């Protein structure tokens, strides 16, 4: 399997940069065509008082604006949207995008968003049960003919139609890391994603996923392994360090990101590939700086195999 790359679109922006976000993407995204396969948006409602764009509206827009790229949420909070309606929305976008949608989904976690927007915030165990119900409903509505009835622990559908069916059925990328949630991924995922993980943690979590796959009689190799997070690079250590500390309140290191000169970043990425990862969804710090674009396209991507 080839190694693929996706661009993560940062969902939070200072109020002074409202139009700059799209201007920057207009500069960068066309240059990535043929090198990057996809565009990804996280699912958040706010970060403090910064601007944040709603994920589904954004995905629909970028799918139309840049038709050479796959699109997906990284990852959608399952209980922000009714799962049957979510399945319908995904099927519709799959039709209009010509099969370019990937369903990234997780249990949800950002409590302040839930409280602020009037959602219940159940325990982690309940959110995982809701995730299972959501996955079951989506898969049945996407693949089974006629009326669908399903009564889960938390969600249900009753004689529900979903037409047109999505073609192809969107790959389900489940973004989780806990033991209980990895058991769900082993059962339902086409792809598995983990975010901001070190190599050691990635390997540990992958071994748990493999064990659950084997317990359920599934081939572990049937689930594609993916990683989401930040990439920080520059021509020298001074540039790298400046960018690694450029976002207020965040310091990027090799414990939570790919950080270093081009050759160092290639070595870090290659270690994940050797461990079984075949897809990197990257928030590249420093874009739209043309030197960063050049480094990524000429010195990093071609050297990761």
pTM: 0.95
User: Which structure tokens are listed for 174?
Assistant: 């489940």
pLDDT, tens digit, for every residue of 197-237?
999 999 999 999 999 999 999 999 999 999 999 999 999 99
| The pLDDT of residue 246 | 85
The larger pLDDT score, comparing residue 47 to residue 303, is at: 303
Q: Which of 152, 210, 158, 154 is nearest to 179 (CA)?
A: 210
**Reported confidence tier of residue 14, pLDDT bands at 50, 70, 90:** low
User: Which structure tokens are listed for 160?
Assistant: 């529900």
Q: Is residue 296 over pLDDT 80?
A: yes
**Reported confidence tier of residue 13, pLDDT bands at 50, 70, 90:** low
For residues 207 and 226, give the distance between their C-alpha atoms in angstroms, rounded to a whole number: 14
Q: Is residue 15 over pLDDT 80?
A: no
Mean pLDDT for 30-38 is 97
pLDDT, tens digit, for every residue of 85-105?
999 999 999 999 999 999 999
What is the percentage of the chain residues whose pLDDT exceeds 70? 97
CATH of 4-108+170-303, one of 3.40.50.10800, 3.40.50.720, 3.20.20.30, 3.40.50.300: 3.20.20.30
**Reported confidence tier of residue 11, pLDDT bands at 50, 70, 90:** low
- Structural domain boundaries of the chain? 4-108+170-303
Q: Tell me how far CA of residue 113 lies from CA of 65, 121, 150, 155, in angstroms.
A: 29, 9, 29, 21
Q: Which of 113, 102, 172 is nearest to 137 (CA)?
A: 172
Task: Give me the chain's average pLDDT, please.
Answer: 94
Helix (H, G, I), strand (E, B) or coil at 160: strand
Q: Is residue 80 over pLDDT 90?
A: yes
Q: Which of 50, 72, 60 is nearest to 175 (CA)?
A: 72
Mean pLDDT for 126-152 is 97
pLDDT, tens digit, for every residue of 241-252?
999 998 878 889
């Amino acid at each position: 399997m080839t190694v693929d790359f996706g661009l993560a679109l940062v969902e939070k922006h200072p109020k002074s940069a409202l139009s700059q976000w799209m201007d920057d993407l207009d500069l960068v995204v066309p240059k990535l065509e043929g090198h990057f396969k996809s565009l990804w948006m996280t699912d958040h409602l706010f970060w403090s008082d910064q601007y944040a764009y709603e994920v589904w509206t954004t995905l629909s827009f970028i799918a139309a604006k840049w038709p050479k790229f796959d699109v997906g949420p990284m990852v959608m909070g399952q209980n922000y949207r009714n799962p049957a309606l979510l399945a319908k929305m995904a099927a519709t976008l799959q039709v209009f995008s010509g099969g370019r949608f990937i369903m990234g989904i997780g249990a949800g976690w950002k409590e302040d968003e839930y409280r602020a927007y009037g959602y219940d915030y159940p325990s982690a165990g309940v959110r995982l049960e809701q995730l299972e119900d959501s996955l079951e409903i989506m898969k049945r509505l996407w693949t089974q003919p006629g009326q669908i009835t399903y009564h889960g622990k938390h969600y249900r559908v009753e004689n529900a139609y979903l037409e047109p069916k999505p073609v192809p059925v969107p790959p389900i990328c489940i973004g989780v890391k806990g033991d209980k949630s990895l058991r769900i991924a082993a059962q339902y995922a086409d792809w598995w994603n983990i975010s901001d993980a070190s190599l050691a943690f990635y390997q540990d979590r992958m071994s748990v996923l493999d064990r659950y796959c084997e317990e359920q009689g599934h081939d572990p190799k049937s689930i594609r392994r993916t990683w989401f997070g930040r990439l920080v690079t520059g021509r020298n250590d001074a540039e790298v360090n400046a960018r690694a500390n450029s976002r207020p309140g965040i310091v990027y290191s090799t414990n939570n990101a790919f950080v270093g000169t081009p050759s160092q970043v290639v070595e870090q990425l290659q270690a994940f590939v050797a461990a079984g990862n075949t897809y990197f969804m990257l928030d590249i710090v420093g874009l739209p700086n043309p030197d960063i674009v050049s480094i990524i396209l000429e010195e990093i991507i071609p050297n990761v195999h």
